[in-house]
Amino acid sequence: MEMKNIDQWLRSCRAGLPDGSRAAAAIDRNASLEEISELAEEEGLHQLASVLFEAEQEKLRRGPDAVEDAAEATQAFLRAVRQSLPNHSRTAAAIDRGAAWEEISELAEEEGLHQLASVLFEAEQDRLRPAS
């Protein structure tokens, strides 16, 4: 993944993490993806850890010139979250049918999936911001 884009995605994720989180602290100090992933796993943030692991694996497969945008990283996060949701979840159904991030975020919030809602909200805001 292009570091600029993964950094943006991590900042979106960071907004949903408690201040006492070791993974959040690692994001704040720009730790390696591997370290953030390990800390996220230790804290039970399995979706975050899974996406970071996938990013590292994809980076290794593609080589140093790999480029992935923030939207692709968000989609990878959605896929990881979806695997952990029960089939009767309205959020899961929205992900399955490819609903807009805004709709998925609203459903996630209703179902108490605050980290997912926060990540999608931030990703949507990033997408709407003009490029600098």
* 10-residue averages of pLDDT along the chain (132 residues): 64 82 90 85 82 70 55 80 88 94 92 83 74 58
Which are the contacts of 64, defined by CB distance < 8 A and separation ≥ 6? none
Note whether 122 and 105 are within 8 A (CB): no
CA pair distance 80, 72, nearest whole angstrom: 12
Question: What is the reported pLDDT for 3?
Answer: 53
Which are the contacts of 123, defined by CB distance < 8 A and separation ≥ 6? 9, 12, 70, 71, 74, 101
Buried b (16+ CB within 10 A) or exposed e, 100-129: ebeebbbbbbeeebebbbbbbbbbbebeee
Question: What is the reported pLDDT for 63?
Answer: 57
